[in-house]
Structure 1
Amino acid sequence: MSGPAEQWAWQLQDERLSLSEKFVLVYLARRAYYDDGCGAWPSVNTIAAHCHCTRRSVLRALKRLQELGYLREGDQELAARNPRSHEPIPRGHRSKVWDVVMKGAQTEPEDIRSRRDRRRQGRSSETQYSRTIAEQGVRAG
């Protein structure tokens, strides 16, 4: 969850936004994986439930927020694995990943490729650590 992105969304004053659009933007900013507002992937049904509106209202809000430049499609690879089990999620069952575009904020969005590379390096170091622990366990036993 991203505190800075959520704070930015609450403080945003744009008279073109309806209440449902504002709530959807705030909710996506809150669910963003990164502090710059990038990487939120709740389902449309989840957004509707938390914003107390219909699924159709959420879809309209998402479209409008894209048109106004407050939202864009993010790195879809983020939704490719279950965050708890790390099992792959089939393409037809993934939520769309959104990036909240924080206009005028001091936090600039980081390049998606550099994030992806860091995530992959982190996974490989975790795998290496797991292998080392497993080898030590085998040697000790």
Structure 2
Amino acid sequence: MSQETQHSDAKMTRAVHVAATFVLVVLLSGCASDYQASSPPAGELDVQFDNQQNRASDLQVVVTNATGGTVIDRTKTIDSGTSGRSRYPVGTEGEYAVTVRGRDRFETTVQWNTEECETLQIHVRMTPDGVNAASRCAES
């Protein structure tokens, strides 16, 4: 075998290795982007809050399913003069009762069907005159 043929074979072998590596990397990156450790949530509760009071307030969010089982039970302390949001995913499609409770006997309950409304948004306003809430379906 001549030196020129060996050199040509070496170039060809290297080109094949580079091409094979490239194909492998592309395939693996495609698999990695398609892989999800868990299924996406069936719905998301988006609680927005605006505390215009001069005191901190605890806001409790409770989500129960159709059989009365508690899916979410969280309390968040909201400092005076702050606004923000908290998001709570639910993992199974279905009907839920969403209750938001706060200071001064404030409580509101909303029925939520994730098949009809993927994202339920509840906006809680805390003013010196009291607390109120409004809810709406916020499809993205």
**TM-score with structure 2 setting the length:** 0.21
Indicate the structure (1 or 2) with the bigger Cα radius of gyration: 2
**TM-score with structure 1 setting the length:** 0.21
More strand by share: 2
More helix by share: 1
